[in-house]
Chain A
């Protein structure tokens, strides 16, 4: 069964067409990336899945039910949500905040200290949230989202304000949750480090799905060149010289993805070659490619 299903969903706000005919399907136990710039429709999608808003057309199903129906409210116990920039209640301590949310979710409060330990806040549990840094608040938010072992976790910009080490910890924690069968939707606009952990991604722009698939699919769709850096004094075959740019320590080659292996085979026997670096297009490159393509299209449509 699909955990989340969006069929042909449309959402208008006054003056904005926030989502255009979106289809989305999530299998249990996958980490799903939802990427797009501001106003791309990510948050609208998240809100639809959470049942906070109703679609204008189409249907949304979460655990097989319409999430806006009041009977679906109990399913919310199986969901965790963390939005960006949540600042909680300044006057309460971290532990008190977490207990409050646990109680609302109907989860025994004995779980709270363990969760705080998992996110590295146990030392600060008795301090008021007022004294927390942005990253600490974010981690408290994560602890809150993890209450009661959710089956579906929606994270909107979860790593904002986290330092690189905390970010890595965070992604590893997600991997662990995935092993336990949790489905995770990860919403973000920038993505260094995230690609390792993502099973499938959707890139959105202006309320539309621009591309969808796992990283390999996306690479093929974008058809971005592979960059090969050659070090040493190399004489390239005639055919490759057009694609090459010389620099201080060697030569930089840009070749289409499908020609990667033939090109490598022809290069490796060359005399004078000292080292080879291969850069596949990153998720960020792919993201930039698709959003830029969308913006170009738009510009063309606007110009007479």
Chain B
């Protein structure tokens, strides 16, 4: 336990030093404040509009940004240490591989959680205090769900990054693989599903289809935030699932599965990696 915390503390300090923590926090805050203020610009006005519009549009932007940031933060977690020579050195210490990986996860997960909480939380506070017609309890509960799911999404992609990091033989290859993973989950998967839907002219089993969305953590994240505001107009792929209701808890739990499974996979591969 001690070893895990030691590694985690070092990772967090590293994150503070190379400005990752600050940068991510600021990106999130600007994203949130900007969207909530200019989110309705297309409709011809600026200023804080409804809470649901803000959170839903925030979610659809965050779904691109968070996975990318998480992958960039963590893709060199193991391969970077390997290239530095410190992996070999660490393995001669009283520290096992799972402790190292879990320590990394804890530290980099804390960076992600801190940035999400502070960045989006600050934006929520600004919104709440500047806008007269938003009620605090509503704001807080909506943003809690959003922030919680955003943190989980970040962790899921950190875990993906570790799979890449323990598999790759070089850092540059890991970076390329990270981009591919991002591209696959964020863009290709949805396009593929839509393509299938169109090609079969909607003939696909309507019961089965929503479950396919559970195969992609970014879609789960979107579902959580959209289903929270069930009354909101939803377009695109998300509209399909409107008649199959997953509860927010179910969705959060499935994100948790998406966190644990890749972590286990990364660990299995790491244990077999030769030094």
Contacts and interface: CB of A to CB of B under 8 A. Distances in A.
A64 to B, nearest CB: 18
A42 B134 CA distance: 70
A104 B86 contact: no
A87 B6 contact: no
A86 B94 contact: no
B91 interface: yes
B213 to A, nearest CB: 39
B85 A85 contact: yes
B14 interface: yes
A29 B213 CA distance: 64
Nearest to B5: A103
Contacts of A86: 84-86, 88-89
A70 interface: yes
A74 B93 CA distance: 9
B81 to A, nearest CB: 9
B18 A91 contact: yes
Interface string A40-63: 000000010010110000000000
B274 A81 contact: no
A173 B96 CA distance: 31
Interface in B81-112: 84-86, 88-96
A100 B6 contact: yes
Given A96-B13, A104-B3, A70 B88 contact: no
A6 interface: no
A91 B88 CA distance: 19
A79 interface: yes
Residue of B17, B90, B93 with most chain A CB atoms under a 10 A cut-off? B93
B274 A53 contact: yes
A149 interface: no
Given A47-B275, A76-B94, A77-B94, A83 B17 contact: no
A89 B14 CA distance: 8
B173 interface: no
Interface in A1-22: none
Given A53-B274, A92-B13, A92-B14, A105 B88 contact: no
A104 B90 CA distance: 9
B94 A73 contact: yes
A100 B96 contact: no
A106 B93 CA distance: 10
B89 A81 contact: yes
Nearest to B88: A83
B10 interface: yes
A101 interface: yes
A111 to B, nearest CB: 15
Contact of B95 (A79, A91, A96, A104): A104
Contact of B93 (A47, A89, A91, A105): A105
Given A47-B275, A92-B14, A100-B10, A87 B84 contact: yes
A77 B95 CA distance: 10
B95 to A, nearest CB: 6
A76 B85 contact: no
Task: Give the size category of B's interface with A.
Answer: 20 to 34
A208 B85 CA distance: 26
B84 A76 contact: no
Contact of B89 (A73, A74, A77, A83): A83
A159 interface: no
Interface in A102-158: 103-106, 128, 144
Contact of B14 (A47, A76, A77, A91): A91
A147 B29 CA distance: 43
A31 B162 CA distance: 40
Contacts of B85: 83, 85-87
Contacts of A104: 3, 6-7, 90, 93-95
Given A52-B275, A83-B85, A89-B86, A105 B94 contact: yes
Interface in B1-32: 2-3, 6-7, 10, 13-14, 17-18
Contacts of A76: 92-94
A74 B84 contact: no
A70 B94 contact: no
A128 B14 CA distance: 11
A171 interface: no
A70 B96 contact: yes
Interface in B189-204: none
A88 interface: yes
Contact of B91 (A52, A91, A128): A52
Contacts of A106: 2, 94
Contacts of A81: 89, 92
B205 to A, nearest CB: 47
Closest 10 CB pairs of A and B: A91-B17, A86-B85, A81-B92, A103-B6, A104-B93, A76-B94, A73-B94, A91-B18, A50-B92, A87-B84
8 contacts: A76-B94, A83-B88, A86-B88, A86-B89, A92-B13, A104-B3, A104-B94, A106-B2
Given A50-B92, A86-B86, 9 more contacts: A52-B88, A52-B92, A73-B94, A76-B94, A81-B89, A81-B92, A83-B85, A83-B88, A86-B85
